[in-house]
């Protein structure tokens, strides 16, 4: 019992972080599910985090409302941003959204009211694994209802072939904008939760490397199914722990080793398992089918 408590105390923050990262990976998945590579969510996370922090530090609002605001504000901002930006295709959308993230970060660095680079400190810890996983469960519920529904099918169609979807009468702009805003809301929620988990927010936490982390977790986990990003978040958050042993054995510094592992995993996934780890069972099944068929042919 003692050991269990000790284990929980040691790893509870890791568990909480997996939850936050899962929300972020899902926010990237939201737009990837209709074929849009939007890298804007670090910027939205920053907005949510700062909004939540400011509300907690300067008002008496209950935590639930603070979180709601942290999710709502980025979603609202996403609409006027998304309208022009979502008209760009593929790579150009990615670039524009990277630019957006940088603009948010630079604005925060230069904003004296929030102490620029130092950010806001001494935020009371109002979030823990409980709240985080509750929010995650809600998000997953939404995705679950979406899947198989008419809206979900429309998104799938847009992802497969957008011009075709449009000719079929699907309002692609509305759907893409809705997912963009939804993703922004998820990222903002994650930002608000993280702010109340780690006592502080600062611009350095929302830079390009955060964007890359989110994207990698979503892709490695897999975008074939909404469970993928959660899997990816868990896998990549726990990877550094596992690597600690490897580092000791190989003698390679843990930092570069972690980067190398991230890069290799991403490369292997994108080359050989493009729909992510979550598609592994399906791929194994397919591979077994092929083997059986081939053997039937020969034997």
Partner 1 sequence: MSTVRGALVVLLTLSGVNTLAADSTARIGAALSLTGDAAVYGATQRNGILLAVEDVQKGQLPPGVKLEVVVEDDGSSKQQAISVYQRFINQQKVSAIIGPTLSTTATGADPIAQMAKVPVVAVSNTAAKGITDIGNYIWRVSLMEKQVVPGAMKTAQQRLHFKTAGVLYGNDDVFTKAGYDVMKATLDQLGVKILGTQTFARTDRDFNAQITALKALNPDILVVSALAENASAIVTQARQLGWSGAIMGGNGFNSPAFIKNAGPAAEGVLVGTAWNSASPSPANQRFKQAMAARGFTADQFAAQAYTGVLVLAEAIKQAGGKTGREDIEAGLAKVKNLDTPLGTFSFTPSRDGEHEPAVQIVKNGKFEILQ
Partner 2 sequence: MQQVVNGLFLGSIYALFALGYTLVFGVLDILNLAHQAVFMLCAFTALALVGTLHLHTLVALPIAIVAAGLVGVLLERAAFRPLRGRSDSNISGLISSLAAATIFEALALAAWGPGQFRFPFGSVPDRRLQLGGAIVSEVQAVIIGISVAMMLALTWLLRRTRLGRHIRAVAESPLAARILGVNVDRVIAASFFISSALGGAAGVLFGLAFNDVSADMGRSVELKGLAVIILGGMGSMPGAVLAGYGLGIIEVFTVAKLGSSWRDGVSFAVLFLVLLLRPRGLLGQAATRLA
Where do contacts with partner 2 occur on this chain (CB under 8 A)?
35, 37, 84-85, 87-92, 94-96, 98-100, 102-103, 106-107, 110, 162-163, 208, 212, 215-216, 219, 252-253, 255-260, 262-264, 266-267, 270-271, 274
- Any contact of residue 6 with partner 1 (CB under 8 A)? yes
Per CB under 8 A, which of residues 108..147 are in contact with partner 1?
A: 109-110, 115-119, 121-122, 125
Local structure of 86: helix, strand or coil: coil
The minimum distance between CB 46 and partner 2, in angstroms, equals 15
Structure token pair of residue 97: 């959204």
Angle (CA) 92-37-186 rounded to 5° is 130
In degrees rounded to 5, what are phi and psi of residue 201?
-130, 145
Q: Which of 23, 4, 2, 10 is closest to 241 using CA atoms?
A: 10
Q: How many residues bind partner 1 (CB under 8 A)?
A: 32
- Any contact of residue 190 with partner 1 (CB under 8 A)? no
Closest to partner 2 by CB, 36 or 56: 36
Q: Which of 2, 86, 8, 3 is closest to 40 using CA atoms?
A: 86
Q: How many residues does the chain have?
A: 299
Closest to partner 2 by CB, 89 or 145: 89
Strand partners, 218: none
Return the range that interacts with partner 1 (CB under 8 A); candidates 10-18, 42-50, 137-145, 171-179: 10-18
The minimum distance between CB 248 and partner 2, in angstroms, equals 15
Build a one-symbol-per-residue string for 64-103: x at contacts with partner 1 by CB under 8 A, - elsewhere.
Answer: ----------------------------------------
Build a one-symbol-per-residue string for 194-213: x at contacts with partner 1 by CB under 8 A, - elsewhere.
Answer: ----xxx-xxxx--------
- Given candidates 160, 161, 171, 253, which one binds partner 1 under the rule CB under 8 A? 253
- Any contact of residue 44 with partner 1 (CB under 8 A)? no
Alpha-carbon torsion, ordered 228, 229, 233, 239, to 10 deg: 40
The minimum distance between CB 36 and partner 2, in angstroms, equals 9
Local structure of 267: helix, strand or coil: helix
SS3 assignment for 155-174:
HHHHHHCHHHHHHCCCCHHH
Closest to partner 1 by CB, 203 or 228: 203
Closest to partner 1 by CB, 78 or 233: 233
- Any contact of residue 240 with partner 1 (CB under 8 A)? yes
Query: Which residue carries 């692609």 as its tokens?
Result: 172
Residues ≥6 apart with Cβ < 8 Å to 217: 21, 22, 24, 25, 28, 229, 232, 233, 235, 236, 237
């Amino acid at each position: 019992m003692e050991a269990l408590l000790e284990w929980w105390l040691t790893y509870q923050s890791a568990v909480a972080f997996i939850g936050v990262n899962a929300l972020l990976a899902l926010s990237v998945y939201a737009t990837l599910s209709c074929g849009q590579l939007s890298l804007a969510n670090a910027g939205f996370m920053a907005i949510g985090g700062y909004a939540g922090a400011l509300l907690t530090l300067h008002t008496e609002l209950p935590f639930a409302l603070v979180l709601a605001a942290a999710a709502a504000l980025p979603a609202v901002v996403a609409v006027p941003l998304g309208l022009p930006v979502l008209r760009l295709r593929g790579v150009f959308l990615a670039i524009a959204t990277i630019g957006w993230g940088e603009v948010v970060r630079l604005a925060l660095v230069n904003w004296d009211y929030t102490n620029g680079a130092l950010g806001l400190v001494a935020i009371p810890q109002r979030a823990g694994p409980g709240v985080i996983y509750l929010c995650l469960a809600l998000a997953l519920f939404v995705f679950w209802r979406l899947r198989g529904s008419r809206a979900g099918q429309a998104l799938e169609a847009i992802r497969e072939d957008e011009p075709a979807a449009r000719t079929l009468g699907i309002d692609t702009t509305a759907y893409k904008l809705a997912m963009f805003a939804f993703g922004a809301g998820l990222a903002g929620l994650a930002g608000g939760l993280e702010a109340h988990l780690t006592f502080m927010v600062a611009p350095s936490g929302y830079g390009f490397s955060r964007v890359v982390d989110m994207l990698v977790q979503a892709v490695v986990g897999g975008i074939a199914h909404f469970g993928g990003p959660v899997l990816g978040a868990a896998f990549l958050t726990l990877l550094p722990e596992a690597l600690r042993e490897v580092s000791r054995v190989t003698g390679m510094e843990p930092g570069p080793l972690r980067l190398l592992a991230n890069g290799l995993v991403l490369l292997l996934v994108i080359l050989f398992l493009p729909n992510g780890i979550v598609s592994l069972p399906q791929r194994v099944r397919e591979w077994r089918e092929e083997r059986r068929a081939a053997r039937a042919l020969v034997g």
